[in-house]
Amino acid sequence: MQYDRTAHRHYSEAVATTELTYSPDVLGDDFVAHTFELGPDPDGEPGGDVVATLVKHVAGPRDPHHAVLWVHGFSDYFFQTAVAEFFAERGYAFYALDLRKCGRSL
């Protein structure tokens, strides 16, 4: 199977132009969160649709050249503000993802 660079380029352009709407986060003024609607629960558990939550550290560098995406372990969530501050001090944009049914995504 051959890699289709054209399809990848079009997908990348679409993603790069998508604006996310952030809300204040429970971690305080230095953090905001965006909730992604993922649709019906694939496990069939009651409670309706599932979501994932992207947390952004907004006190980081204004023009970062690199980014970190923190993905938590099994049944965990992001709350380690010192980790975000560590990377921000070194010039990285910092994001964390609370996966479905975990933390902010419960």
| pLDDT tens column, 35-72 | 999 999 888 887 789 999 999 999 999 999 999 999 99
Please give the helix or strand (H or E) that residue 50 lies within, else none: strand 49-57
What pairing do the DSSP bridges indicate for beta strands 28-40 and 49-57?
A: antiparallel
- 85: closest CA among 66, 65, 61? 61
Per-residue confidence at 11, pLDDT binned at 50, 70, 90? Answer: very low
Whether residue 8 has pLDDT greater than 50: no
List the structure tokens of 106.
Answer: 């419960």
Residue 47: its pLDDT value, please?
Answer: 74
Q: Is the pTM of this model over 0.75?
A: yes
- Report the DSSP beta bridge partners of residue 50: 39
pLDDT value for 48: 81
Say whether pLDDT at 96 is over 70: yes
User: How many CB atoms neighbour CB 76 within 10 A?
Assistant: 12
Tell which wins on pLDDT, 13 or 30: 30
